[in-house]
Amino acid sequence: MSAAAEVRPGGVARMRELWRLFRNEREDPEPFYTWLADELAAALERRHGSLAGRTLVDLGCGPGYYTRALRARGATVIPVDNSADELGDDPPEGALLADATALPFEDASVDGVVCSNLLEHTPDAEAVIREIERVLRPGGWVYLSWTNWYSPHGGHDMSPYHLLGPERGPRLYERLHGPPRKNRYGEGLFAVHIGPTLRYVRSRPGLRVTAAEPRYWPKLRVLVDIPGVREVACWNCVIHVARSGDVLDGVQGWLTDAQADRLRAAAERVPAGGRIVEIGSYHGRSTIVLARATEAEVVAIDPHAGNDRGPQQWTGSSAEGESDHRTFQANLARAGVGERVRHVRRPSQDALDVVVGSVDVLYVDGAHRYAPAAADITRWGARVAPGGTLLVHDAFSSVGVTLAILRHLLLDRDFRYVGRSGSLAEYRRDGGGGVASAARQLASLPWFARNLVLKAAIAAGLRKGPWPY
């Protein structure tokens, strides 16, 4: 990471400075793209864990801004571009001249692909997506970003004529101004839209879309869910994609891909000799994520008693509990972590004396009624070491869990609210709690209300769809 990245502004000041740099991008591209590259490398680590030692492809690398930022974080990066002119006079070390629709890599050979602003410059974006799918290892990921055609900059040098359509707009521009400086339509620039691209990625058997958002204002990701509006309002679209076929396939549970990434990142921060405690394992989906991400001790606490098994499954039978237990053990064994996980088959409050010492990461996904959730947060939360992490599932989604959080974490001075992935809230025990932390939590209450409405509609049979997590 560059030193500049540590002092760059956020919020409105960030947007203002990015806009200033973008306006000068044609004459001086390095400041703008270096900023974006540093931000992207940091964001990828937050999403996927440490990049050190991972083999990544920078697809459409150009002069190598992203390659440098990713290598600065320890990744092994293969820069690829199909144009020597785009590589420039000082191309990144090891750069390959290759066609993105026919990559010179073996199947399932790379851990991740960064493809930034390439799709709109290829005549066959779908072929690029198929190649990315082919070269990714199971469990790998893709950062896929491009300037969608009807965005303000979709026509590049021809903007805003492009808003007249991909045929009429470029034709009128050239009639009035002559050919553009570069990226003439049909040669170096093509119309790539958000809706069709999302549908195509979702249709691929080996790919899963884990998130889609506007690149420069990701908090407004709701825009990507609105057909038509997204094509105009998103200046540059990002699709986060995971390669199917990983060890979580077939493991039942309610941990989304984005939540798995947050758990994984927390576990990777724990050094060997540390300890991770999970309360509520079910079939082992989260357990596998934690155990595969660290060399630390992983303790999974779940009585497998047949109750509190999931949405609308608060009561159950001992036979269901035994079935859950056998499935849990089989899933851990299949994932290769059976011998690395210490399973405590007791209710969480009966296991306090079984686990001795402090905890570096505590993941709470136990009983969701107020009393047990509050007990887990307070009694087990007291075990979290200074600098450690507390993660709570179904935060701002379940009534009992949300009330427990508001009662015990909202104004807590020790635990600072870091953020959430859906209903998975993350706190850091660093003494940074206070007004700002409380305000960020309270900002999730409208989302909590929305979840209650969705759950009521699903329970009443008025709506079909996934339970909100």
Q: What is the pLDDT of residues 256-300, one digit of tens each?
A: 878 988 999 899 899 889 999 999 999 999 999 999 888 899 999
Higher pLDDT, 398 or 89: 398
> Poorest-confidence range of 51-55, 117-121, 349-353, 453-457?
453-457
> Who wins on pLDDT, 306 or 238?
238
425: confidence class by pLDDT, cuts 50, 70, 90: very high
Tell me the whole-structure pTM to 2 decimals: 0.60
Q: ∠64-65-70 over CA atoms, to 5°?
A: 95
Are 299 and 355 in contact, with CB atoms under 8 Å apart? yes
Q: In this predicted model, which residue has the larger pLDDT, 133 or 308?
A: 133
- Cα dist. 49→85, 130, 309 in Å? 34, 25, 29
- pLDDT exceeds cutoff 60 at 175: yes
Average pLDDT over residues 242-249: 75
CA gap 96, 361 in Å, rounded: 41
Cβ neighbors of 100 (< 8 A, separation 6 or more) are 59, 60, 80, 82, 115, 118, 122, 127, 128, 131
Average pLDDT over residues 323-336: 91
CA-to-CA distance for 214 and 234, rounded, in angstroms?
Answer: 5
Quick one: pLDDT band at residue 1, thresholds 50, 70, 90? very low
Instruction: Establish how many alpha carbons lie within 13 A of residue 45's alpha carbon, considering only the half-sphere containing its beta carbon.
Output: 19
- Nearest 5 degrees, angle CA 305-CA 308-CA 312? 135
pLDDT (tens digit per residue) in 19-43: 777 777 767 777 788 888 988 998 8
- The residue type found at 150 is Y
pLDDT at 190 over 60: yes
- Residue 86: the pLDDT is 85
